[in-house]
Chain A
Amino acid sequence: MRSRRLSAAVVAALVLGVWPALAAAHGLAGKRFFPSTLTIDDPFVSDELSLPTFFHIKQPGDSGTPPGQVTSLSGEFSKRIFPDLGLTLAGDWNLLDPASNGKTESGTGNLEMTLKYQFFTSAAHETILSAAFGWEAGGTGRKKIGAESFDVFKPALLFGKGLGDLPDQLAWMKPFAVTGLVEGVLPTRSGNKTFSLNDDGDLDIEIEKNPNVLHWGFAVMYSLPYLQSFVKDVGLPAIIRQLIPIVEIDINNPLDRGFAGKTTGTVNPGIIWAGKYFQLGLEAVVPINERTGKNVGIRGQVHFFIDDIFPNTLGKPLFRW
Chain B
Amino acid sequence: MAVVLAALLLGAGVASGHAFLDHAEPRVGSTVKAAPAQVRVWFTQDLEPAFSTLEVVSQGGDRVDRGPAKVDSASPALLQVPLKPLGPGTYRVKWRVLSVDTHVTEGDFTFRVTGPP
> Does residue B72 face the partner (Cβ distance < 8 Å to A)?
no
> Does residue A246 face the partner (Cβ distance < 8 Å to B)?
no
> Does residue B114 face the partner (Cβ distance < 8 Å to A)?
no
Number of residues on chain B facing chain A (CB within 8 A):
37
> Does residue B58 face the partner (Cβ distance < 8 Å to A)?
no
Asked if A22 and B7 sit within 8 Å, CB to CB, the answer is: no
Query: CB < 8 Å: which of B17, B28, B50, B110 contacts A305?
Result: B17
Asked if B14 and A309 sit within 8 Å, CB to CB, the answer is: yes
> Does residue A311 face the partner (Cβ distance < 8 Å to B)?
yes
Asked if B4 and A306 sit within 8 Å, CB to CB, the answer is: yes
Given the complex, which residues of A lie within 8 Å of B20, measured CB to CB? 33, 225, 229
Asked if B48 and A309 sit within 8 Å, CB to CB, the answer is: no
> Does residue A6 face the partner (Cβ distance < 8 Å to B)?
yes
> Does residue A168 face the partner (Cβ distance < 8 Å to B)?
yes
Asked if B8 and A311 sit within 8 Å, CB to CB, the answer is: no
Known: A168-B110, A225-B20. A310 touches B15 (CB 8 A): yes
Given the complex, which residues of A lie within 8 Å of B45, measured CB to CB? 276
Find the A residue at minimum CB distance from B46. A4
Asked if A304 and B107 sit within 8 Å, CB to CB, the answer is: no
Asked if A51 and B13 sit within 8 Å, CB to CB, the answer is: no
Per-residue CB contact flags for chain B residues 12-31 toward chain A (1 = under 8 Å, else 0) read 01111110110110011110
Q: Is the interface of A mostly helix, strand, loop or mixed?
A: mixed
Given the complex, which residues of A lie within 8 Å of B66, measured CB to CB? none
Output the least CB separation between B24 and chain A (Å): 7
> Does residue A231 face the partner (Cβ distance < 8 Å to B)?
yes
Asked if B28 and A308 sit within 8 Å, CB to CB, the answer is: no
Within 8 A of B (CB), among A276-321: 276-278, 304-313
Find the A residue at minimum CB distance from B11. A2
Asked if A311 and B28 sit within 8 Å, CB to CB, the answer is: no
Per-residue CB contact flags for chain B residues 47-77 toward chain A (1 = under 8 Å, else 0) read 0101100000000000000000000000010
* Those 8 A-B pairs whose CB atoms lie nearest each other, nearest first: A232-B29, A308-B17, A311-B101, A233-B28, A229-B21, A233-B27, A276-B17, A23-B104
| Residues of A in contact with B (beta carbons under 8 Å apart) | 1-4, 6, 10, 14, 19-20, 22-23, 25, 28, 30-31, 33, 49, 51, 75, 123, 168, 171, 225, 228-233, 276-278, 304-313
